[in-house]
Structure 1
Amino acid sequence: MTKELNVGIVGYKFMGRAHSNAWLKAPLFFDLPAKPVLKTACGRQEKSLKEFAEKWGWENIETDWKKLVSSPDIDIVDIALPQNLHYEIALAAAKEGKHIFCEKPLSMNRKQAEEMLRVCEDHKVKHYLNHNYRRTPSVAFAKKMIDDGKVGRIFHWRCAYQQDWIVDPDFPLTWQLRKETAQAGPQWDLNSHAVDLAHYLVGDISTVSCLTTNFIKERPLADETTSGNLSAATLGDQRGEVTVEDAALMMVQFKNGAIGSFEATRFATGRKNGLRFEIYGSKGSILFDMERMNELQYYSLADEEGTQGFRLIQTTETVHPYAGHWWPAGHIIGYEHAFVHAVADFVSAINNDTIIEPNFYDGLKIIEVLEAGIESAGLKKQVVL
């Protein structure tokens, strides 16, 4: 009889849907050692929560996350909420012996991250932080190429994460634009992904210099019943202060001697979810664009003189990480598939009692870099980690 792992999810908006799809699809495409069961969905608004649960196949609903976390029939707590809500739920779940699948960024600050990691380790639960871009076939294959020496010694990391959803000055003051609920703007939300990728592909960061700015300082207040959505409604003429940055630029030094840059903005007109990175080394270079997520660009100095140039690698063949679980070569996959890969790896880590990455330790390292960036911008000087 197949072992089952009962999942309880807290949060049912954007990430709740992405996670639910992953829990459903993972056992259909991967031979998992245990079957995830969509046991209980939790949220504050009972009517919309019930609609969500019925649509995605959750067996039960609960409006009190403390009851969900303490329930004896829950094995995994999936935290699909904004970052200001991660800390309390993660601590409670770990103390109840539940494994934790958590959205990024990990926490609001380093102190919270340190305690979340310590409590999870003390209670010996698996903890996963969902920087899902690691689990696209292209990024995972780029990691393999780097580990195999195809790039050589890395000199440069360049990364830009650009969106445009708040260019309109009449876009409302959602939770993402308030320090008390978001901690920071794209430095926290977008650069958390970028820093995770840099740690994964290049190495740990030793120094940070950062510049932040605001383009629009006040916005219409958001209707709280819709403020979790990027299409949130406003409350008429009432306005409030934007208390996080609109854009951030970081320059870093890595411990291995490489240098890097990070651009994170929500004011890149025309960019919906533009995440790109470039890695330049002594033997070659790798370029990635999330909007073309099934592709890598690769340049090799080992190619014959006169024929050198960036080549396209389409990462849809069975030799590429995760790709063999889906469709024949050339049949692309999408954004949601990285969540499925994360669930498959998480379930295997629980069953085999192995470490899964990124986890709360990785999340703590990311928060340290992000905080150093905010500190650097305030002091207008370099910060050493």
Structure 2
Amino acid sequence: MDPDNSPAPAQRPRLRIGMVGYAFMGRAHSHAWRTAPRFFELPMLPELTVLAGRDAAAARAAADTLGWTDVETDWRALVARDDVDLVDVCTPGDTHAEIAIAALEAGKHVLCEKPLANSVAEAEAMTAAAARAAERGVVAMVGYSYRRVPAIQLARQLVAEGRIGTVRHVRAQYLQDWLADPEAPLSWRLDRQKAGSGALGDIGAHIVDLTQFITGDRLTELTAMLETFVSERPVAVGSSGLGGTPGTERGPVTVDDAAVFMGRLGNGALATFEATRFAWGRRNSIRLDIDGTDGALAFDFEDMNVLQVFDAHEDPRTAGFRRIQVTQPVHPYTGSWWPAGHGLGYEHAFTHQVVDLVRGIAAGQQPEPTFADGLQVQRVLAAVERSAQGRTWERVETD
């Protein structure tokens, strides 16, 4: 037996994975499925059984590169297979609802990338399907992977323990610059039919989820602005999730380039949000400041192994933010990796996501974030769009 009382590898049941999509997120998820059982003691062993993509040759090449055994060219065939226990949805948002609902109705566990869907109605249908499936022991989780960054987990623990007192104010930013060049090419992420929204859903959804996760509270009302700075771009040749080589043809941008909004949490705390893909020099900067009655926390993903902590009760002569390097064995997840001080990277959050999902399935427990959590974020995004369109304050819909 292993130290955590898990059965030996040969005795562990297999969790056979079918993944739909193999671009940016598919590569990250594939790495996580391969890596998780090699660094964490898991009660089930994931098997990369089958990958689905529309182009047979491209899907076969991706499967060989990423470590998948078999290939399907129709996701419906993947869902129908008896050798698939879990369906991992890594496709654009316009396909999430159809694939996830079909998989849940077929008795498959589901991991679905964020945002959960392209509309509240789709997210509600997915959440209802997940609730029905849960009655049969089937779980569904939405992939807000940044929750699994160890420093974010520590921030949540400190807030829950009351270390910064009552939360009064949150400032959340997600800053990227990959569209700051007006000649950057079109991709599916700039097509509202496929992506649902632009910076708002792609990266703004993450800071909404992180704010609510860390504070343990929810947004109740907000007011917002959305802006599209560049309305037309070159059509990409060989487009990937983040664009391709610009061609000579041009096409319309039908999503927002930036979202700015402010709102109020359930406990009365104020929160401000900024999501943009026009911040030169900010490659992937998630910045969070959480101010409480007894202290504060600060985080920047571009220094992702560090959490800044301020204690308002410290002697004023020496008071200041303390730089906590979140790499000690006592910190969340880090004890299964490298010695203290040897930092983790972007890909590790996806591995931690797999760990929590597999352990939840084995224990018969629903891992978080649930589809209901994803629906709540979707309702925030919808309120942002209503507010920006009507220049109004909007309530965030609740069940």
Question: What range is the shorter-chain TM-score in?
Answer: over 0.9
2:286 to 266, 275, 282: 275
1:208 to 209, 214, 222: 222
| 2:369 equivalent in structure 1 | 358
Once the two structures are TM-superposed, the CA of residue 381 in structure 1 deviates from its matched residue by 0.9
Paired amino acid for 1:375 = R
Counterparts of 1:94 and 1:378, CA distance in 2 = 35
Counterparts of 2:227 and 2:69, CA distance in 1 = 46
| 1:370 equivalent in structure 2 | 381
Counterparts of 1:123 and 1:384, CA distance in 2 = 30
Once the two structures are TM-superposed, the CA of residue 231 in structure 1 deviates from its matched residue by 4.0
Say yes or no: does 1:230 pair with 2:242: yes
Counterparts of 2:71 and 2:97, CA distance in 1 = 22
Q: Secondary structure at the match of 2:329?
A: coil
Counterparts of 1:359 and 1:309, CA distance in 2 = 37
Say yes or no: does 1:332 pair with 2:359: no
Counterparts of 1:208 and 1:228, CA distance in 2 = 34
Q: How does 1:37-116 map to 2 (within 5 A)?
A: 37-116=47-126
Deviations 1:150-189 (A, max 9, x none): 1101110001101111112221221111111111111111
Q: Secondary structure at the match of 1:227?
A: strand
Deviations 1:212-242 (A, max 9, x none): 112111112233xx32332412342x22221
Say yes or no: does 1:189 pair with 2:199: no
Counterparts of 1:375 and 1:282, CA distance in 2 = 33
Say yes or no: does 1:179 pair with 2:192: yes
TM-score by length of 1: 0.98
Counterparts of 1:181 and 1:214, CA distance in 2 = 17
Counterparts of 1:90 and 1:373, CA distance in 2 = 25
Unaligned runs of 5+ in 2: 1-10
Paired amino acid for 1:280 = D
Paired amino acid for 2:242 = L
Deviations 1:10-50 (A, max 9, x none): 01111111000000000001100000000001101222211
Paired amino acid for 1:349 = G
| 2:211 equivalent in structure 1 | 198
Deviations 1:95-144 (A, max 9, x none): 10000011111001111001101112112221111111110110000011
RMSD of Structure 2 on Structure 1 (CA)? 1.0
| 1:26 equivalent in structure 2 | 36
Counterparts of 1:369 and 1:229, CA distance in 2 = 24
| 2:252 equivalent in structure 1 | 241
Deviations 1:247-283 (A, max 9, x none): 1101011111100000000100111111110000000
Deviations 1:292-317 (A, max 9, x none): 11000110012223111011000000
Q: Secondary structure at the match of 2:360?
A: helix
TM-score by length of 2: 0.94
Counterparts of 2:322 and 2:364, CA distance in 1 = 40
Counterparts of 1:311 and 1:2, CA distance in 2 = 43
| 1:316 equivalent in structure 2 | 327
Q: Size of the alignment, in residue pairs?
A: 382
Q: Where has structure 1 moved over 3 Å in runs of 4 or more?
A: none
Quick one: percent identity of the two aligned structures?
42
Counterparts of 1:240 and 1:18, CA distance in 2 = 29
Counterparts of 1:187 and 1:59, CA distance in 2 = 36
Q: Is the 8 A contact 2:97 2:117 kept in 1?
A: yes
Paired amino acid for 1:101 = L
Say yes or no: does 1:156 pair with 2:148: no
Say yes or no: does 1:218 pair with 2:229: no
Counterparts of 1:59 and 1:132, CA distance in 2 = 25
Q: Is the 8 A contact 2:299 2:306 kept in 1?
A: yes
Q: Secondary structure at the match of 1:233?
A: strand
